[in-house]
Amino acid sequence: MADHIVLRIPAGLSTVDETAPLIEWLTVDGLGQALGPVRHGRLDEIPPGQARLTVLAPGTEVADALVAVPGRNASKLAKLVPFALEEQLASDVDEMHFALGGRAPDGRLAVVAVDRRRLAGWLSALASCGLHPQAMFADTALLPDNPAHIVVMIDGDRVMVRRPTATPVTLDATPIDLALELAGVFTPGDDRTLGDELHLLIYASPVDWERHQVALERIRTRVTTLKGQILPDGVLPLLASAAVRGAGVNLLQGEFLPRATVGDGWSRYRMAAMFGALFLVLHLGALGVARWQWHREESTLDAALLAAGREALPEVHNLSRLPSVRLAVEGRMNQLRAASATGVVGSLAAVAAPFAGSDAIVQSVNYQPGNMQLTVDVPNSGFLEQLRQSAASHGFKVEIESTVPHEARVQGRVRVLESGI
């Protein structure tokens, strides 16, 4: 997979002269894994054209929303969206650029909006250094989404907050507990939020964690759980990984859609095209030789496929009437695999091994799609670690939510999450 340069531009970038603020960038592979350290410098220090360029725009200058608009036609939606957001935006919609994303589970359309002149200024500053991004995302939109936690990312003087199923918000990070109140996480003045459980997952660099440690301890008394994830190289590697996976809405749509010139494309891919033409000639020759072999083996393969179909689909009496026996067999096998590898059966199977031959007891099971909570009575806390290792070997994840020692044993509450949750 091609390498990516993920570049994060600061607020206010419009030129590349000596007054321009420093930027940070990171080279990652096609899976979002860092290929080196985070670098800081001027925009004109980035070598152009050596990797696919993705740009992160400051979320403070990009508005995002979920809009209830009907239809699937992109051109019609582009005309409807400005009117749907007109009352929510402080700026004139005629001066805004709108980019459309996918639909949320409730059917609303994800939309991001940015001042057209500001976006054009960013692209002009990049182009003056020979940099032409293929994608641009608001950094706020790349904040991890966790259905079981409120995600908080401390980024210098800013704090980004993402509540489950809600669009992220960016606020002043000082004081951070006040920022969380403004984001709707807490009720102002409450010492602790009562009623619903409240779980916080906080990302921060070592410097930012130390800087806000006192406020974070105050916050700890107001939530059910608070988990900290220290980012040794800052927030860019985490955001870059999400950007490469296309987690946000790409701002480069419509009039800002990237356009590559024919000359540039041919100079970069001339050698690949020559090898491709040679391969095509050889391939066509090989097809003539292989054709008679395929015909000879066709009858043998058909017989084997019908035999497999009779075994996998005993309820079908006339397999020849199926549009595709192979697809029908594959569909049945996929159903069987999915039933045993996911859902409540898969979740229980992922943690079953440690219970074999032990006196551990499952006291209660609460399952929701992709998320199973167990209350267990086990001999010791080491048994919970065995559950974690067993789940990992099956592609699941175990979170230990609480442990309570009693009568030389341990009662624990654990959560079993399917891969990707």
Q: Which residue has the higher pLDDT, 17 or 238?
A: 238
Is 64 among the domain residues? no
Q: Report the 10 Å Cβ neighbour count for 105.
A: 6
| pLDDT value at residue 195 | 46
**Reduced to 3 states, what is the DSSP secondary structure of residue 62?**
coil
Is 405 among the domain residues? yes
Is 307 among the domain residues? yes
What percent of the chain has a predicted confidence (pLDDT) above 70?
80
Q: Which residue has the higher pLDDT, 3 or 1?
A: 3
Q: Give the Å distances, CA to CA, from 149 to 215, 310, 359, 367, 421.
A: 19, 48, 33, 17, 11
Report the domain count for the chain: 2
Same domain, 307 and 273: yes
In this prediction the pTM is 0.58
Q: Which domain holds residue 288?
A: 268-329
Q: Name the pLDDT band for 201 (thresholds 50, 70, 90).
A: very high
DSSP code string of 393-412: HTT-EEEEEEEEEETTEEEE
Is 43 among the domain residues? no
Outline where DSSP puts E strands in 17-81.
Answer: 23-28, 39-41, 52-57, 63-67
Is 308 among the domain residues? yes
Q: Distance between CA 142 and CA 58 in Å, rounded?
A: 11
pLDDT at 206 over 90: yes
DSSP code, position 416 = E
Same domain, 412 and 352: yes
Is 408 among the domain residues? yes
- Range with the largest mean pLDDT of 7-11, 243-247, 367-371, 377-381: 377-381
- Range with the largest mean pLDDT of 89-93, 151-155, 189-193: 151-155
| pLDDT value at residue 252 | 92
H/E stretch holding 269 reads: helix 262-312
Bridge partners (DSSP) listed for residue 137: 56
Same domain, 413 and 363: yes
| pLDDT value at residue 309 | 65
End-of-domain residue from the set 304, 329, 354: 329
Same domain, 301 and 354: no
pLDDT at 261 over 60: no
The lowest-confidence range among 67-81, 254-268, 271-285 is: 254-268
Each as own residue / partner, the long-range contacts of residues 120-123 (CB below 8 Å, 24 or more positions apart, any chain) are 120/256, 121/13, 121/14, 122/9, 122/13, 122/14, 122/55, 122/57, 123/256
CB 242 within 8 A of CB 248: yes
What percent of the chain has a predicted confidence (pLDDT) above 90?
12
The pLDDT of 160-166, averaged and rounded, is 84
Q: State the CATH number of the domain containing residue 381.
A: 3.30.1360.100
Q: Nearest-5° angle of CA 68, CA 73, CA 77?
A: 40
The pLDDT of 96-101, averaged and rounded, is 88
Q: Name the pLDDT band for 230 (thresholds 50, 70, 90).
A: very high
End-of-domain residue from the set 329, 362, 378: 329
Give 308-357 pLDDT, tens digit per residue. 766 667 767 666 666 676 676 676 666 655 555 567 777 888 888 888 88
pLDDT at 263 over 50: no
> Which of 421, 420, 354 lies closest to 387 in space, CA to CA?
354
Mean per-residue pLDDT over the chain, rounded: 80
Same domain, 302 and 365: no
CB 143 within 8 A of CB 56: no
pLDDT at 415 over 70: yes
End-of-domain residue from the set 301, 329, 357: 329
The pLDDT of 64-69, averaged and rounded, is 83
pLDDT at 234 over 60: yes
For residue 287 the two structure tokens come to: 């097809």
| pLDDT value at residue 56 | 92
The pLDDT of 224-244, averaged and rounded, is 91
| pLDDT value at residue 72 | 80
Token look-up 């540039």 returns 264
DSSP code string of 149-217: SEEEEEETTEEEEE-TTS--EEEE-SSHHHHHHHTTSS-TT-SS--SS--EEEEEE-HHHHHHTHHHHH
